[in-house]
Amino acid sequence: MYSDKVMDHFQNPRNVGEIEDADGVGTVGNPTCGDLMTIYIKVKDNVIEDVKFKTFGCGAAIATSSMITEMAVGKTIEEALAITRNDVADELEGLPPVKMHCSNLAADALHAAIDNYKEKMGEKKPEDRCKDICSCGK
Protein backbone atom coordinates (compact mmCIF):
# COMPACT_ATOMS: atom_id res chain seq x y z
CA MET A 1 0.00 0.00 0.00
CA TYR A 2 2.78 2.48 0.91
CA SER A 3 6.11 2.83 -0.87
CA ASP A 4 9.37 2.14 0.94
CA LYS A 5 10.07 5.90 0.88
CA VAL A 6 6.78 6.71 2.60
CA MET A 7 7.50 4.12 5.27
CA ASP A 8 11.05 5.43 5.74
CA HIS A 9 9.89 9.04 6.18
CA PHE A 10 7.12 7.91 8.54
CA GLN A 11 9.39 5.74 10.69
CA ASN A 12 12.42 8.07 10.50
CA PRO A 13 11.03 11.56 9.95
CA ARG A 14 13.54 14.27 9.10
CA ASN A 15 13.55 17.81 10.48
CA VAL A 16 11.01 17.28 13.26
CA GLY A 17 10.58 20.15 15.70
CA GLU A 18 10.14 23.86 15.57
CA ILE A 19 12.33 26.87 14.97
CA GLU A 20 11.90 29.29 17.88
CA ASP A 21 12.87 32.38 15.88
CA ALA A 22 11.34 31.22 12.59
CA ASP A 23 11.14 33.71 9.76
CA GLY A 24 7.90 32.12 8.60
CA VAL A 25 5.34 29.74 10.10
CA GLY A 26 2.49 28.05 8.27
CA THR A 27 -0.21 25.90 9.83
CA VAL A 28 -2.84 24.01 7.87
CA GLY A 29 -5.30 21.31 8.77
CA ASN A 30 -7.90 19.03 7.31
CA PRO A 31 -10.97 18.87 9.55
CA THR A 32 -12.25 15.78 7.72
CA CYS A 33 -9.34 13.54 8.67
CA GLY A 34 -7.97 15.51 11.63
CA ASP A 35 -4.44 16.02 10.25
CA LEU A 36 -2.74 19.22 11.44
CA MET A 37 0.62 20.40 10.12
CA THR A 38 2.89 23.32 11.02
CA ILE A 39 5.98 24.19 8.98
CA TYR A 40 8.69 26.56 10.25
CA ILE A 41 11.24 28.16 7.93
CA LYS A 42 14.46 30.10 8.44
CA VAL A 43 15.51 32.22 5.46
CA LYS A 44 18.85 33.85 4.67
CA ASP A 45 19.51 35.80 1.46
CA ASN A 46 16.23 34.54 -0.06
CA VAL A 47 17.24 30.89 0.51
CA ILE A 48 15.49 28.56 2.94
CA GLU A 49 18.35 27.49 5.17
CA ASP A 50 16.33 25.49 7.72
CA VAL A 51 12.90 23.86 7.79
CA LYS A 52 11.21 22.04 10.66
CA PHE A 53 7.75 20.58 11.10
CA LYS A 54 5.28 19.42 13.70
CA THR A 55 2.46 17.20 12.48
CA PHE A 56 -0.47 15.58 14.20
CA GLY A 57 -1.88 12.98 11.90
CA CYS A 58 -1.55 9.70 10.09
CA GLY A 59 1.65 8.11 8.82
CA ALA A 60 1.20 9.63 5.37
CA ALA A 61 0.86 13.12 6.89
CA ILE A 62 4.09 12.63 8.82
CA ALA A 63 5.87 11.26 5.74
CA THR A 64 4.76 14.15 3.52
CA SER A 65 5.79 16.67 6.18
CA SER A 66 9.22 15.09 6.41
CA MET A 67 9.59 14.98 2.63
CA ILE A 68 8.57 18.60 2.05
CA THR A 69 11.23 19.76 4.51
CA GLU A 70 13.90 17.88 2.56
CA MET A 71 12.58 19.25 -0.72
CA ALA A 72 12.53 22.88 0.47
CA VAL A 73 15.83 23.25 2.32
CA GLY A 74 18.45 24.99 0.20
CA LYS A 75 15.89 26.32 -2.28
CA THR A 76 15.15 29.96 -2.95
CA ILE A 77 11.75 31.24 -1.87
CA GLU A 78 10.60 31.17 -5.50
CA GLU A 79 11.83 27.59 -6.03
CA ALA A 80 10.11 26.43 -2.83
CA LEU A 81 6.85 28.09 -3.86
CA ALA A 82 7.02 26.09 -7.08
CA ILE A 83 6.88 22.77 -5.18
CA THR A 84 3.47 21.33 -5.92
CA ARG A 85 1.27 18.87 -4.12
CA ASN A 86 2.02 16.26 -6.78
CA ASP A 87 5.78 16.88 -6.44
CA VAL A 88 5.60 15.75 -2.82
CA ALA A 89 3.70 12.58 -3.69
CA ASP A 90 6.06 11.87 -6.60
CA GLU A 91 9.14 12.24 -4.38
CA LEU A 92 7.59 9.68 -2.03
CA GLU A 93 7.07 7.35 -5.00
CA GLY A 94 3.31 7.71 -4.75
CA LEU A 95 0.57 7.74 -2.17
CA PRO A 96 -2.69 5.82 -2.15
CA PRO A 97 -5.48 7.99 -3.64
CA VAL A 98 -7.21 8.19 -0.28
CA LYS A 99 -4.02 9.72 1.21
CA MET A 100 -3.28 12.30 -1.49
CA HIS A 101 -4.80 15.00 0.70
CA CYS A 102 -1.74 14.58 2.94
CA SER A 103 0.61 15.76 0.21
CA ASN A 104 -1.77 18.68 -0.30
CA LEU A 105 -1.36 19.65 3.34
CA ALA A 106 2.43 19.49 3.20
CA ALA A 107 2.71 21.75 0.16
CA ASP A 108 0.03 24.07 1.53
CA ALA A 109 1.82 24.36 4.90
CA LEU A 110 5.12 25.23 3.19
CA HIS A 111 3.40 27.83 1.02
CA ALA A 112 1.66 29.27 4.11
CA ALA A 113 5.03 29.56 5.89
CA ILE A 114 6.48 31.36 2.87
CA ASP A 115 3.47 33.68 2.71
CA ASN A 116 3.96 34.43 6.42
CA TYR A 117 7.64 35.18 5.79
CA LYS A 118 6.78 37.50 2.91
CA GLU A 119 4.20 39.33 5.02
CA LYS A 120 6.81 39.85 7.74
CA MET A 121 9.15 41.23 5.08
CA GLY A 122 6.46 43.70 4.02
CA GLU A 123 5.45 42.00 0.78
CA LYS A 124 1.82 41.91 -0.18
CA LYS A 125 -0.03 38.64 -0.56
CA PRO A 126 -0.69 37.61 -4.19
CA GLU A 127 -4.39 38.37 -3.83
CA ASP A 128 -3.61 41.84 -2.42
CA ARG A 129 -1.29 42.59 -5.34
CA CYS A 130 -4.09 41.59 -7.70
CA LYS A 131 -6.42 44.12 -6.06
CA ASP A 132 -3.90 46.84 -6.86
CA ILE A 133 -3.68 46.09 -10.58
CA CYS A 134 -6.99 44.62 -11.75
CA SER A 135 -10.67 44.38 -11.05
CA CYS A 136 -11.12 40.60 -11.01
CA GLY A 137 -12.60 40.70 -7.53
CA LYS A 138 -9.84 38.71 -5.84
* Full DSSP string of the chain: ---HHHHHHHHS-SSBS--TT-SEEEEEEETTTTEEEEEEEEEETTEEEEEEEEEES-HHHHHHHHHHHHHHTT-BHHHHHT--HHHHHHHTT---GGGHHHHHHHHHHHHHHHHHHHHHTTPPPHHHHHHHH--S--
Give ∠ CA 24-18-118 in degrees, rounded to 5.
Answer: 5
Contact 92, 63 (CB under 8 A): yes
33 has catalytic annotation: yes
Q: Annotated catalytic residue: which of 33, 58, 130, 134?
A: 33
134 has catalytic annotation: no
For the annotated catalytic residues, the residue numbers are: 33, 102
